[in-house]
């Protein structure tokens, strides 16, 4: 897995579906640079099972993200047409109708590769033919990667789950709160920190003071 924390988020320009059904060409996370934090997440495939629970869960908490000035963006290796079809399929038929944040189409798998979440790699066999070698037999899809990117375009947090393991929206929000607390206060966030709790100075004295009062 590629470690991107502390580095500029890999740039891309790709097709996306925005506002629940509008095609946008040359969509890029750089559109938000200097304006918003971005929560950029990958999921394996459209029209699957765990994926819609996550995608819809992000939408159900979208006000929580917007109140923090955070843009949620999803991405998979499906085409923009597949995204559009899924977005226009009712939930009771396995769709994600009602989701309004952007879904990026990574049909060439270059975005997932650059973010280090593609579940395997392409290689050449003994006959010099290109073939796919999946991790544990996985298809050429993305793991459940999630990246918190600050307003300068730097990755500040990343987590990657295997295919069966859905992510926690509460944890994503907690990490956003922690980053924004640090940006505002200059104090670091200790273990199990939550919004409203004390931070601490990143010094020996600060740690001693924090531990002595908890």
Look at residues 151, 184, 140 and name the one whose alpha carbon lies nearest to residue 44: 140
Catalytic annotation present for 189:
no
DSSP 121-167: EEEE-TTS-EEEEEGGG--S-B-EEEEEE-TTSBEEEEEEE-TT-PP
Cβ atoms of 155 and 7 within 8 Å: the answer is yes
Residues 6+ away with beta carbon under 8 Å from 99: 20, 55, 56, 58, 59, 87
Query: Of residues 51, 99, 105, 173, which has the active-site annotation?
Result: 51
Could you give the residue numbers annotated as active site?
51
């Amino acid at each position: 897995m590629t470690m991107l924390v502390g580095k500029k988020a890999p740039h891309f320009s790709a097709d996306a579906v925005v506002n629940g059904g509008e095609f946008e060409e040359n969509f890029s996370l750089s559109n938000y640079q200097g304006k918003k934090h971005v929560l950029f997440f990958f999921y394996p495939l459209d029209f699957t099972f765990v994926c819609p629970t996550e995608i819809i869960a992000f939408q159900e908490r979208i006000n929580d993200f917007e109140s923090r000035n955070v843009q949620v963006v999803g991405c998979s290796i499906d085409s923009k047409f597949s995204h559009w079809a899924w977005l226009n399929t009712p939930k009771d038929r396995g769709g994600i109708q009602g989701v309004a944040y952007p879904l990026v189409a990574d049909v060439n798998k270059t975005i997932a590769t650059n973010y280090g979440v593609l579940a395997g790699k392409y290689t050449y066999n003994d006959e010099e033919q290109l073939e796919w070698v999946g991790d544990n037999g996985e298809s050429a899809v993305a793991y459940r990667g999630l990246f918190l990117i600050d307003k300068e375009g730097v990755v500040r947090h990343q987590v990657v789950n295997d295919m069966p393991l859905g992510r926690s929206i509460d944890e994503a929000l907690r990490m956003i709160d922690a980053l924004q607390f640090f940006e505002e206060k200059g104090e670091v966030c200790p273990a199990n920190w939550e919004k409203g709790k004390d931070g601490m100075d990143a010094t020996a004295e600060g740690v001693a003071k924090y531990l002595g009062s908890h």
